[in-house]
Amino acid sequence: MEQGAVIWLTGMAASGKSTIGAEVCERLRAQGFRVENLDADEVRQHLSPNLGYTIEARDENTKRLAWMGKILGRNGVHTVVAAVSSLRRFRDRAREMCPHFVEVWVKAPLEVCKARDPKGLYARAERGEVNDIAGWHQPYEEPLAPEVVCDTVAESAEQCADRIMARLVELGYTPPEGGVYTPEQEQAVAKRLGALGYL
- Half-sphere exposure at residue 74, Cβ-oriented, CA atoms within 13 angstroms: 8
DSSP state of 140: -
With 0-12 / 13-18 / 19 or more C-beta atoms within 10 angstroms meaning exposed / middle / buried, residue 41 is middle
Q: Choosing from 15, 18, 85, 86, which is the catalytic residue?
A: 85
Calpha distance 72→90 (Å, rounded)? 19
What kind and span of H or E run contains 8? Answer: strand 6-10
Gap between the Cα atoms of 36 and 22, Å rounded? 10
Catalytic residue check, 85: yes
By annotation, the residues acting in catalysis are 85
